[in-house]
Structure 1
Amino acid sequence: MAAEVKFVRLQCLETEDNGADELYLHYNGAHLAGIQDVETGGTWQLDLVKRLDGEAFVSLFDEDDIDEDDFLGEIVISESEMNQGLRQQEFNQDDALYVLFYRVRPFEED
């Protein structure tokens, strides 16, 4: 059965550096969302839906003007999470801590 991921929000518990992080998300290596400024304690409301075939890799980055962008982590979302309600996983690389909230549900054709 085909599935889709409904991205709900990304919550910041700790930024990568002082001040706001300039965040963007990748879904299976392609741009998903961002750039969005988020500070510690802040939330990025996503409201995005992507098709899910088997499993998908979601990566979080902090854009840097001076050097390479900071990799803040990667999670795997699987079809096996379908119909399990609101799910959450953490991005915790490079001294940052973010929690992604999402749902996996049956794919709906428009």
Structure 2
Amino acid sequence: MSAQYWGWLLAVLAMGAVTFLLRAAPVLLPKAWLKSALLHALNFALPLSVMTLLILASLSLNKATAQPLYLAAEILALLCVWLSYRQWRNVLVSMIIGVAALNGWLWVLGAG
């Protein structure tokens, strides 16, 4: 097996271990740590941080400079995501609405 295969396998195992530890943390950590101000602040800021990262990752400025209608569709889809998140405070629903809205606006504007 090639070195690239082992690199991918190691990366997947590392990601799995980190995911497992993060999911198991509420059970494994002492209760006093879970009530700390730092974890409460992290719990408060995490949804906004995730949404910000998703927004930054979703903008494809190279394609938008070539097609201004594509940028308009992205901005309209982001507005839909923002409105849905304000209404329901649910990241999963907002992500689904964002994907659907982007595809819908691309179709309506003919930029797809």
TM-score by length of 2: 0.26
Q: Looking at CA atoms only, which structure, 1 or 2, has the larger radius of gyration?
A: 2
Q: Flag the structure with higher helix content.
A: 2
Q: Which has the higher contact order (CA 8 A, sep 6+)?
A: 1
